Amino acid sequence: MLRAWPLPALLVWAAAWCAYLALKAWDASPLLALVLPSLGGVGASVLGNSGWRRLMIGAGFPLSLAVSGAASIPAWAWLVPLGLLILVYPLKAWRDAPIFPTPPDALQALAQHAPLSDGARVLDAGCGAGHGLRGLRHAYPQAELHGLEWSWPLRAWSALVCPWARVRQGDMWATDWSGYALVYLFQRPESMPRALAKARAELAAGTWLVSLEFEALGVQAHAHYTTPSGRMVWIYRAPLSKVSNVPNAEPRPGP
C-alpha cells in the first residue's frame, strides 16, 4: 500500500516540510533548513517506480518551498537540491535505467530455470539500491554475488544494505562480463540491444543473461516466466541463438 501513487510523494513531502519547520524552530540557517529536508527527499525518491515519479518525490519539497515563498534563500541555493538529484541519479545513468527497483518476488523462481553451482559468480549490472541483489541472494544463497552501480551514493547504500555482496562503483558497459556465470539486468527497452551485443561478445557458453520485464529481441529465450506481481522474467543461455520461427514458444526445460 505504501507504493500506491501518489501516497509515497505525499508522505515524503509532508515529512520534508515537518523537518523544515522543525529546523526553522531551532533557528537553523535557511540553507541548512533547505538542504537537509531536500536530502531526505532525494533519498526517499527510490519509492517511486518510474523516473518521473522519483523526480517528483525528490524535487517536490524544494519546488513547493520556492512557490510558497516561505524561505528567504539566495537564488544560488536552489541549485543545491538539483545537485543532490544529479549526484544520486547521474545523467549518464539516465540513458540506461535510473533506479528501477526489482520487486521482492521477481526472482524467487529463477533458479528453477537457470541453475547454478555453489560459488558461481553472479552480477547485478546496475544494482541501484540493492533490490536485485536481495532477490538474487534469495534465488542463489550459495552464489558469490556482485553488484555494479554508476551512482556512488547508491553504490554506498547498496553495499550497506547488502554486506554479503561485493558492490562497487563503475560502468556496467565498460565492465567485462566474461567472469560471471549469470548477469542480471533490469534496464529499459532502448538499452537491451546494447546488452545483447555485450552478452554475445563476452558471456561464456553455458552462462546466463537474465532480464526483468524487457525481452532481448532477435534471440531465442531459454525460458521465461511471469512473476506474482505480473512482470516477465526473460532467461537466455549463451551462446545466444537466433529466435525460432515458433511464436510464443513455451519455456524450454532446464538442463
pLDDT digit string, tens, across residues 194-212: 999 999 999 999 999 999 9
DSSP letter assigned to residue 13: H
pTM of the full predicted structure? 0.64
Query: What does the pLDDT average to over 40-63?
Result: 69
- Specify the pLDDT at position 37: 79
> What confidence category does residue 20 fall into, taking pLDDT thresholds of 50, 70 and 90?
confident
Q: Which residue has the higher pLDDT, 246 or 125?
A: 125
CA dihedral 184, 186, 187, 189 (to 10 degrees): 100
State how far the Cα of 106 lies from the Cα of 213, in Å rounded to an integer. 10
State how far the Cα of 46 lies from the Cα of 40, in Å rounded to an integer. 11
Q: What percent of the chain has pLDDT over 70?
A: 73
> What confidence category does residue 252 fall into, taking pLDDT thresholds of 50, 70 and 90?
very low
For CATH 3.40.50.150, the residue range(s) in the chain are 110-237
* Range among 29-33, 90-94, 108-112, 251-255 rated most confident: 108-112
> What confidence category does residue 255 fall into, taking pLDDT thresholds of 50, 70 and 90?
very low
Q: Which residue has the higher pLDDT, 58 or 140?
A: 140
pLDDT in tens, 150-178: 877 788 888 999 999 999 998 899 999 99
Q: H or E element: which one contains 123?
A: strand 121-125
DSSP secondary structure string, 36-77? HHHHHHHHHGGG-SSHHHHHHHHHHHHHHHHHHT-----GGG
- Specify the pLDDT at position 251: 43
Cell of 122: 553472479
- Specify the pLDDT at position 24: 80
- Specify the pLDDT at position 25: 85
- Specify the pLDDT at position 247: 40
Query: What does the pLDDT average to over 214-242?
Result: 91
- CATH code: domain 110-237 is 3.40.50.150
> What confidence category does residue 111 fall into, taking pLDDT thresholds of 50, 70 and 90?
very high
Closest CA to 137 of 173, 163, 160, 113: 163
